[in-house]
Amino acid sequence: MTARTNLFVVALALTLLGTVMVYSATAAQSGTYLLAVRSAHVVLGVGTFFAARQVRYVLWRKLALPVYIIVLSSLILVLVPGIGDQINGARRWFDLGPLSVQPAEFAKLAIVLLLACAVARARPGSGIPAAPMLAVGTVFLLVLAEPDFGTSVVIAAGAAGMLWASEVRTRDLLVGGSVAVAALVGAMFLEPYRRDRFLTFLDPWSVSDGPGYQIVQSMIAIRSGSYLGAGAGAGVGGTLIPEVHTDMIFALIGEELGLLGMICVIGAFAFMSLTAFKISLDAPTVMGRCLAAGLATMLTVQATFNIGAAMGVLPLAGMTLPFVSYGGSSIIVCFAAVGILYRISEDGEIAREATIPRKAGRGAEGPYRRRRDGGTRDPRAVRGG
């Protein structure tokens, strides 16, 4: 199988593992209800993958702006009382009965698409385009207002990874990166509960009965799993952790599947990350390279922060574990990202094959066949870029 096919297979395997873990975490309280909803999420996610892989990634130039406008409108509407659903003090969801939609998840994809299209049109060595960065900043602030600091970090990371793969000036990248880091640090320390999260991360055991409870219980659950774990569905401590089926599902993996299970999950994400960045390096156009780099960074950062928070080595940021945690919007966006990466890889392979002259006899036609005026055909014509 090709690397892009393996990318999808690994994503699907993580999703199926997540389905088992979600059921294990919620069966005692919800029976099979959340399992049924999760199964519907998986079907929608896989369907999204097959739809996304059919779209030539260069066509996203036409779709990027409409997608951004729809997402921006949704982020505004979700903050309106009576329209957006408020849970635990956060207004992030549209309640659609058995399913809910979280616009911030789709914002991650919209930002990467919009910014990739913008920098692909910029000349090498030019500065960062101002209008797209303003669009990114607007979405960042709206997501932060929900509040959803974790998704804001992922949006900023995706934009940063995509810009680093572009051809804009390095000086501008360093300045922009410094501003983004300062904004994230300021957003963390200006809000009391975010500041408390960071201070709790430094010494969670000192406040294990208060703000540090979630981290401490997560580490206890992981430790109790030892090497092979208690077995799927046999975990006890992990199911008592707040938000175990979303933000802290890796702790349940540690308890029920042990060190071996954690290594397999971390290895799966490492493979996905390396494959996605390899797709970026092999992309046939600047837009493809930037788009793949942004999606790869987005998935890598989100997985790293979720796993790190569960293990107590990174601060809690309220991020789900891609493909594994419960959440329909997250699964749809993650599979859409894999579908786009798949198509970029496929188009890149076609472009590379098309630029290899065929060793054939007289009259053979290949990408370098002569035009009527005696010139050679431009290989970029087969790339769509």
Which is higher by pLDDT, 178 or 298?
A: 298
Hey, what are 358's tokens?
Answer: 């065929």
> Does the pLDDT value for residue 92 go beyond 90?
no
> Does the pLDDT value for residue 168 go beyond 90?
no
Residue 271 lies in a domain: yes
Residue 375 lies in a domain: no
Residue 378 lies in a domain: no
Which is higher by pLDDT, 187 or 358?
A: 187
> Does the pLDDT value for residue 378 go beyond 50?
no
> Does the pLDDT value for residue 383 go beyond 60?
no
**What 3-state class would DSSP assign to 87?**
strand
Residue 272 lies in a domain: yes
Residue 374 lies in a domain: no
Hey, what are 196's tokens?
Answer: 């408390």
Q: Which pLDDT does position 180 carry in this prediction? A: 81
For 195-248, what is each residue's pLDDT tens digit? 777 778 788 888 878 878 888 899 999 998 888 888 887 777 777 788 889 999
Q: Which pLDDT does position 178 carry in this prediction? A: 84
Q: Place 371 in a pLDDT band, splitting at 50, 70 and 90.
A: very low
Strands (E), the chain: 85-87, 90-96, 99-101
> Does the pLDDT value for residue 89 go beyond 80?
no
Q: Which pLDDT does position 356 carry in this prediction? A: 66
Residue 98 lies in a domain: yes
> Does the pLDDT value for residue 52 go beyond 90?
yes
Placement of tokens 């954690």 in the chain: 262
For 57-76, what is each residue's pLDDT tens digit? 778 888 889 999 999 999 99
Beta-carbon contacts of residue 46 (< 8 Å; ≥ 6 apart): 12, 335
- Among candidates 287, 286, 285, 295, which has minimal Cα distance to 342? 295
Q: Place 358 in a pLDDT band, splitting at 50, 70 and 90.
A: low
Residue 218 lies in a domain: yes
Q: Which pLDDT does position 72 carry in this prediction? A: 95
Q: Place 379 in a pLDDT band, splitting at 50, 70 and 90.
A: very low
Give the number of domains in the chain.
1
Q: Structural domain of residue 60, as residue ranges?
A: 3-352
Q: Which amino acid is at 95?
A: D
- Worst-scoring range by mean pLDDT, 24-38, 61-75, 170-184? 170-184
Residue 235 lies in a domain: yes
Distance CA 182, CA 188 (A): 10
> Does the pLDDT value for residue 30 go beyond 90?
no
DSSP structure class, residue 385: -
Q: Average pLDDT for residues 127-142, to the nearest whole number?
A: 87
Which is higher by pLDDT, 268 or 162?
A: 268
Q: Place 375 in a pLDDT band, splitting at 50, 70 and 90.
A: very low
Q: Which pLDDT does position 205 carry in this prediction? A: 85
For 284-335, what is each residue's pLDDT tens digit? 888 899 999 999 999 999 999 999 999 988 888 888 999 999 989 999 999 9
Q: Average pLDDT for residues 158-184, to the nearest whole number?
A: 83
Beta-carbon contacts of residue 124 (< 8 Å; ≥ 6 apart): 167
* 8 A C-beta contact, residue 347 and residue 284: yes
